[in-house]
């Protein structure tokens, strides 16, 4: 039997899974790390935390599985997109990584639009300049921390920093590189024009591979430390959403998934470069060679629920620990006791600004309609409904672009929740399904490794063989109608508050 490893460097944790070649989970390990918010709207993590958790979880799965190191043929890495990792001439991390949900770069996005018209940005990078994406972060460091920028010799994305740690190779692959805003997305290569206009030295960037291509093998000291072999190959891998697509079998036209991780994403596969002219959803290369995807992104999805739990639900945590169960199981139980609509309570999930549909770094979270009748359970349900309204905004735009899907796969931490999947089914008005293989991005990354090592013929063939649908949730007629009315009001609230958000940001 041959084995493959998938690593997912998420925002909440690193998850490492050892699979056999039939997709069975042999061992898995996960380690959390903090998210730092030095200022309102800023978000950073330490690349060293990603490194340490990857090395620890790799060692753990190898030790626990007892699998022979020679039989582990390949590793695929997946990770949170857009984060900026800068290394100096000794390949040391220069500053904490400014990650995907950071909103400090509004001025740099303005600068990018004066350097090149929006239409040209869209022609080349398939997207308008965006605050969360890497190019604007690079410009921010150059302007605000010139000493750091001058010391920088390598610019890497989070998972590509892990590739460097594992193999010593500076490289990236097309799906994650699409989210840097430096890639020619239709051409799947760095854009000389963009790099020239932004005056970014191409030597700072690694070589771009396709997701299944082999980028290197493990360094001897890493093989020694983790119990793996120096022969183990590391493939390109993918940004976490492109990897989740592979892990849920979303690799053909007409297929789509919603993930509720820290962010929330509605993702549809596309064999063509399909672009929203208003730039509200992103177009990126996907992990399947020669194909792309379109995705709407909600910044504060699982992040909203985690924020509420961490700040207002300490007793839930204690009770869950006492019962030896997951705290989210208690939350789901209580949320399911509240009726749809949370008794006229609406939550706007804009804790970290919003991408789809508003592209607004200044908007913030709101509970609207609070009454003395409401309890914490209503607020928890309103949080999950508010995130679902935002995901519906993403889905509506994909529909408006002519992307029609008959059913939606669900994944990510929040995708495990039956009550959250019911909300999505009611609002999307279609069946929401899970796959039996729940490892999402880690499985996707392992499949990419299997293709790169010649174990599978293609990504599509591997998905056909390994991935099967599991639970299915259909819309409930009465709730679908009710949610339409709430969603309409939810959309009006943003329009009503838009000006006030600007004033708040300027205070």
Ligand X SMILES: O=C(CO)[C@@H](O)[C@H](O)COP(=O)(O)O
Ligand Y SMILES: Nc1ncnc2c1ncn2[C@@H]1O[C@H](COP(=O)(O)OP(=O)(O)O)[C@@H](O)[C@H]1O
State the binding site for substrate. Answer: 81-82
Q: Could you tell me which stretch among 154-162, 178-186, 389-397, 415-423 binds ligand Y (CB under 6 A)? A: 415-423
Q: How far is the CB of 201 from ligand X (least distance, A)?
A: 25
H or E segment at 481? helix 477-506
Contact 440, 412 (CB under 8 A): yes
Q: How far is the CB of 318 from ligand X (least distance, A)?
A: 27
CB closer to ligand Y out of 11 and 211: 11
Residues in the chain: 507
Q: Which of residues 155-214 bind ligand X (CB under 6 A)?
A: 179
Binder among 241, 248, 356, 395 for ligand X (CB under 6 A): 241
CA dihedral 403, 404, 407, 412 (to 10 degrees): 20
Binder among 175, 392, 417, 434 for ligand Y (CB under 6 A): 417
Return the structure tokens found at 417: 């929740």
Contact string (CB under 6 A) for ligand Y, positions 291-320, x = contact:
-----------x--xx--------------
Partner from ligand X, ligand Y, none contacting 100, C-beta within 5 to 8 A by type = ligand X
Binder among 129, 261, 357, 414 for ligand X (CB under 6 A): 261
Residue 262 binding ligand X, by CB under 6 A: yes
Place of tokens 């992040």: 303
Burial grade of 199 (CB within 10 A; 0-12, 13-18, 19 or more): exposed
3-state secondary structure of 256: strand
Burial grade of 128 (CB within 10 A; 0-12, 13-18, 19 or more): buried
Separation CA 8–CA 30 (nearest Å):
9
408: β partners: 432
Q: How far is the CB of 165 from ligand X (least distance, A)?
A: 19
155: β partners: 86
Radius of gyration of the chain (CA): 22
Q: Is 240 a catalytic residue?
A: yes
Q: Which of residues 246-265 bind ligand Y (CB under 6 A)?
A: 260-262
Residue 296 binding ligand X, by CB under 6 A: no
Contact residues toward ligand X (CB under 6 A) are 10-11, 80-82, 100, 132, 179, 239-241, 261-263, 265, 297
Contact residues toward ligand Y (CB under 6 A) are 10-13, 260-262, 302, 305-306, 326, 328, 332, 412-414, 416-417, 420
Catalytic residues: 240
């Amino acid at each position: 039997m041959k084995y493959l490893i998938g690593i997912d460097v998420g925002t909440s944790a690193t998850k490492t899974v050892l699979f056999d070649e039939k997709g069975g989970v042999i061992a898995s390990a996960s380690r959390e790390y903090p998210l730092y918010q030095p200022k309102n709207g800023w978000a950073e993590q330490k690349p060293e935390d990603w490194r340490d958790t990857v090395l620890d979880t790799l060692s753990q799965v190898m030790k626990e599985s007892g699998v022979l190191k020679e039989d582990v043929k390949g590793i695929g890495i997946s990770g949170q997109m857009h984060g900026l990792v800068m290394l100096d001439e000794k390949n040391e991390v220069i500053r904490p990584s400014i990650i995907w949900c950071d909103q400090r770069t509004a001025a740099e996005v303005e600068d990018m639009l004066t350097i090149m018209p929006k239409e040209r940005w869209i022609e080349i990078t398939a997207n308008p300049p965006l605050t969360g994406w890497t190019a604007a972060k690079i410009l921010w460091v150059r302007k605000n921390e010139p000493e750091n920028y001058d010391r920088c010799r390598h610019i890497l994305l989070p998972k590509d920093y892990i590739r460097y740690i594992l193999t010593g190779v500076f490289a990236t692959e097309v799906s994650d590189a699409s989210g840097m805003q430096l890639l020619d997305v239709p051409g799947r290569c760095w854009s000389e024009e963009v790099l020239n206009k932004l005056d970014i030295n191409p030597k700072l960037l690694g070589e771009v591979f396709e997701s299944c291509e082999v980028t290197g093998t493990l360094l001897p000291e890493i093989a020694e430390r983790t119990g793996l072999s120096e022969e183990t190959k590391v493939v390109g891998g993918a940004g976490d959403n492109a990897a989740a697509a592979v892990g849920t079998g979303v690799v053909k036209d007409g297929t789509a998934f919603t993930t509720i991780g820290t962010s929330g994403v509605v993702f549809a596969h596309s064999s063509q470069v399909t672009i929203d002219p208003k730039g509200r959803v992103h177009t990126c290369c996907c992990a399947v060679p020669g194909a792309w995807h379109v995705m709407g992104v909600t910044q504060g999805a699982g992040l909203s629920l985690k924020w509420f739990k961490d700040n207002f639900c300490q007793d839930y945590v204690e009770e869950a620990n006492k019962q030896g169960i997951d705290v989210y199981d208690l939350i789901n139980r209580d949320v399911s006791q509240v009726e749809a609509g949370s008794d006229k309570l609406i939550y706007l999930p804009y804790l970290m600004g919003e991408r789809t549909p508003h592209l607004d770094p200044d908007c913030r979270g709101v509970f609207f309609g609070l009454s003395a009748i409401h309890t914490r359970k209503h607020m928890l349900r309103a949080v999950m409904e508010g995130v679902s309204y935002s995901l519906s905004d993403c889905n509506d735009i994909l529909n408006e672009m002519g992307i029609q899907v008959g059913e939606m796969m669900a994944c990510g931490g929040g995708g495990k929740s039956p009550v959250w999947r019911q909300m999505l089914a009611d609002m999307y008005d279609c069946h929401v399904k899970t796959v039996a293989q729940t490892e999402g991005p880690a499985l996707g990354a392992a499949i990419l490794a299997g293709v790169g090592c010649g174990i599978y013929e293609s990504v599509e063939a591997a998905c056909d063989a390994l991935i099967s649908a599991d639970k299915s949730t259909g819309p409930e007629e009465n709730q679908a109608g009710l949610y339409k009315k709430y969603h309409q009001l939810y959309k009006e609230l943003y329009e009503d508050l838009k000006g006030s958000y600007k004033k708040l940001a300027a205070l």
